[in-house]
Chains A and B, each alone.
Chain A
Amino acid sequence: MNARRSASGGSTASTTYREALRDGLREALRTDDRVFLMGEDVGRYGGCFGVSLGLLEEFGPDRIRDTPLSESAFVGAGIGAALGGLRPVVEIMTVNFSLLALDQILNNAATLLHMSGGQLSVPIVIRMTTGAGRQLAAQHSHSLEGWYAHIPGIRVLTPATMDDARHMLAAALDDPDPVVMFEHGSLYNEEGVLDGTVDSVDLDSAAVRRLGTDVSVITYGGSLPKALAAAETLAADGIGAEVVDLRSLRPLDDATVLASVARTHRAVIVDEAWRSGSISAEVAARIAERSFYELDAPVQRVCSQEVPIPYARQLEEAALPQPASIVAAVRQAVA
């Protein structure tokens, strides 16, 4: 997808999502000595998904800091270090484990600025893997980024492209408030090309990844490649799907979403989280609140089935949004 987009401009460099994240980390560590990375196995092991491989050798154990298994303690320590003047990047292996640190994230990181009457800001970046698709079953596969997006006081990012993987971290570190970044596990091995003309990204806006006139497919993270694949299939049938990548779940860029819906008059929201109480529900509500009269059809949603994600392949596939189910929802929307 990036290859197509960047073919039009600037020099390009091929990379993987994992390498793009690593390059972003490396740049942050090089340019700001307040920045350090900590988490389980980020150093000697290179990160459980290999994102920080090689950084220990370059920056040493003080700044690439292996932690014991103790999510609450090291996330909380990251919050404290941010209060203490550093710029911690804290890695949690996967979103399911972040629940052990949820207290620190919600009750400290997200609230200190407000509770202290504006005295304490918490410039921390917390990164973690999210999502399913690798037969890891119910304790390693959930998509809880929508839960985090419920919390005022933090920014929630979902990089889905090479450029976002490469550049979101720098912008996140510039934010004086806590930022939580969700990296979908199925994206790490994705290959693509960096847009050589891009050297920073704007965290406040969603991005239109593909233009289309008939329907807006609104998605983020690991569902973006699926939405683009569906759009390709639909194009063969003469249906033009515009694909909107939310990029940030909090704050939500209503303007980009609503502008797209104003062009296409139809909306399909794709979200790997469970439907009830999800970010897809929030997006649908905003469309209903603000663009009701633009709609030519009810808003459709493609979400995960409301079941703990099962191990068996056929069950897991059936539980998750797939290009085919997105295509089916779009057909219903344009029918």
Chain B
Amino acid sequence: MSTTTRRSTGATGTQRSVAPRKTPAPPTGGRGPGHEHELELLRQMLLIRRFEERCVELYSAAKIRGFVHLYIGEEAVAVGVGQALRGDDAVVSTYREHGHALARGVSAGAVMAEMFGKATGCSRGRGGSMHLFDAGRRFYGGNAIVAGGLPLAAGLALADRMRGTERVTCCFFGDGAYAEGEFHETANLAALWQLPLLLVCENNLYAMGTSLAREHAQTNLAMRAASYGMPAWTVDGMDVLAVEATARKAADSVRSGGGPHFLEARTYRFRAHSMYDPDRYREKDEIARWKARDPLAGLEERMRAEGGLDDLANKRLEEDVSAEIDAAVRAAEAAPYEPVADLLRFVTSPSGGAS
């Protein structure tokens, strides 16, 4: 097990690669720290953060209902991995997917309208927070059955493989999902068939109220994934540049025929599991320790130190993001509800025979 520290970013982030490794470890330098690129990463993370903070307000105001799972604290994973994907790659996600959708380029307006249950939502109000979809962006949802997206992602990858494309399917899932048979069955299948699949495990140390050590006998998730016969790496999920570098390496290898790769991003959700969760099971100082490693603050600090960000630029970023979210909320408010007469639409295809 080798440990590589990214010198260029001064990151606390480390990545361990666990044998068998078919590709060399990511280079220590990675992409040059171009500040425009970093500014874009910061903008994407800030959009997710502020978007979800607004969701909390709107939930309290009963504009948004149902189960809502916040991604706050984990933004670096979606944004970092997103950099490694191309427009024609596929993404399969979970119920904690606002960040994945936004990082994939689904508009804040379409996501917000969905949470309002409006006809202009990205799932026409049928899905809500847990079921965001955007077929055009190959964003295959929003799955509220833990680990339910994994076999589906293998199938998307199989289709690409059989059709001879160079596309990658990226599947996000949690440490809890890792305990389900569906993860293990999928990992084996993907390795057996050498599918172009990037498995991104967002290890935020909890599955609802159950901590990692109480859900897994062996908590070294990358090692276990490697045992299926695929490269498996761990990365600091609070460091967006580290996530990006490792995800690029993994995605490039998948794309060039290296078979499935597993990436464990060590991260933490700053908020409760969902809006219903009183969060009685986590120690206050554990939460505080992780908050001190806020991925947004981390990148911001680094950029400031390197002269890539100043107060003015930061203010402009905040204003831009805030304006984008304001517009999304305004549009969602104004949008029509789907008419009740359309209740039975989309049960079967218009051309299909059954109903």
Contacts and interface: CB of A to CB of B under 8 A. Distances in A.
Q: Are A and B associated in one complex? A: yes
Interface of A: 40-41, 44-46, 48, 66, 68-73, 96-97, 100, 134-140, 305-308, 310-315, 318-319
Given A312-B117, A315-B126, A138 B340 contact: no
B146 interface: yes
Contacts of B338: 312, 314-315
Contacts of B147: 69
Contacts of A139: 130-131, 143-145, 148
Give the secondary structure class of A's interface: loop
Contacts of A310: 125-126, 343
A100 B180 contact: yes
Nearest to A313: B117
Nearest to B176: A69
A96 B182 CA distance: 15
Given A313-B117, A315-B340, A66 B214 contact: yes
A312 B337 CA distance: 8
Given A100-B180, A140-B130, A314-B117, 6 more contacts: A44-B209, A68-B179, A135-B117, A139-B131, A312-B128, A319-B343
B292 interface: no
Q: Which of A70, A305, A307, A311 has the most CB of B within 10 A?
A: A311
Interface string B316-338: 00000000000000000000011
A56 to B, nearest CB: 11
B284 interface: no
7 contacts: A72-B181, A97-B145, A135-B117, A137-B66, A137-B131, A138-B126, A311-B125
Given A70-B180, A97-B145, A41 B208 contact: yes
A227 B32 CA distance: 67
A311 B280 CA distance: 28
B343 A315 contact: yes
Give the secondary structure class of B's interface: loop
Contacts of B181: 70, 72-73, 100
A46 B65 CA distance: 23
A69 B179 contact: yes
Contacts of B67: 136, 140
Contacts of B343: 305, 307, 310, 315, 318-319
B76 to A, nearest CB: 24
A45 B280 contact: yes
A138 B128 CA distance: 10
* Leading 7 A-B pairs by shortest Cβ distance: A45-B209, A312-B117, A311-B128, A312-B125, A68-B179, A135-B66, A139-B144
Contacts of A312: 117-118, 125-126, 128, 337-338
Given A69-B180, A70-B181, A312-B125, A137 B209 contact: no
A39 to B, nearest CB: 11
B150 to A, nearest CB: 12
A68 B281 contact: no
A140 B131 CA distance: 11
Contacts of A138: 126-127, 131
Contacts of B207: 40, 68-69
Contacts of A68: 176, 179, 207, 210, 215-216
Given A40-B210, A48-B208, A307-B347, A96 B145 contact: yes
Interface in B130-161: 130-131, 143-148
Nearest to A315: B343
Contact of A41 (B179, B210, B347): B210
Contacts of B144: 137, 139-140
A18 to B, nearest CB: 14
A310 B148 CA distance: 19
Interface in B166-194: 176-177, 179-182
Nearest to A93: B208
Given A68-B179, A135-B65, A311 B208 contact: no
Q: Which of B127, B143, B147, B216 has the most CB of A within 10 A?
A: B127
